[in-house]
Amino acid sequence: MKTKALALAKDLSARSTIKIKVGAVIFNKREIISWGWNNPGGGYGEHAESMAITRINTRSIQHQTLPTFIAVYSTRKGKPITSRPCRDCERFIRSYRIHGAVYLRKEELDG
């Protein structure tokens, strides 16, 4: 499911109209739960991770019995880049009992 979630996050990042394009997918080992991409959102900007989280049915995520993760895929000028969730998004992720983030690491880009 991790590979499928990262592939969907990559596709979603293309929807962004911002220089650094980010897609995020919330998933567990059985299913995709929610998704989002970064956007200008009323002038303040909305991060892909927060969009994915706000689209969740909160009851379903809080009653998950399986570990839940968020996959994040980022590009700059059409090329993949490493991109951890920012500090605010990390707090938001933890507050919804999401167990961790999956994102591209430097060694994956070099290979």
Rounded distance between C-alpha atoms, residue 54 and residue 62, angstroms: 13
Provide the residue-wise pLDDT of the chain in tens; the chain has 111 residues.
Answer: 888 888 898 899 999 988 889 999 998 888 888 999 999 877 778 999 989 988 886 666 556 666 778 888 888 888 888 777 888 888 888 888 788 888 866 666 554
Cα 89-98-35 angle, rounded to 5 deg: 70
Residue 67 makes CB contacts below 8 A (sequence gap 6+) with 28, 29, 99, 100
Rounded distance between C-alpha atoms, residue 20 and residue 31, angstroms: 27
Whole-model pTM? 0.84
- Residues 49, 52, 55, 56, CA torsion sign: negative
Q: Which helix (H) or strand (E) holds 108?
A: helix 106-110
Rounded distance between C-alpha atoms, residue 5 and residue 101, angstroms: 11
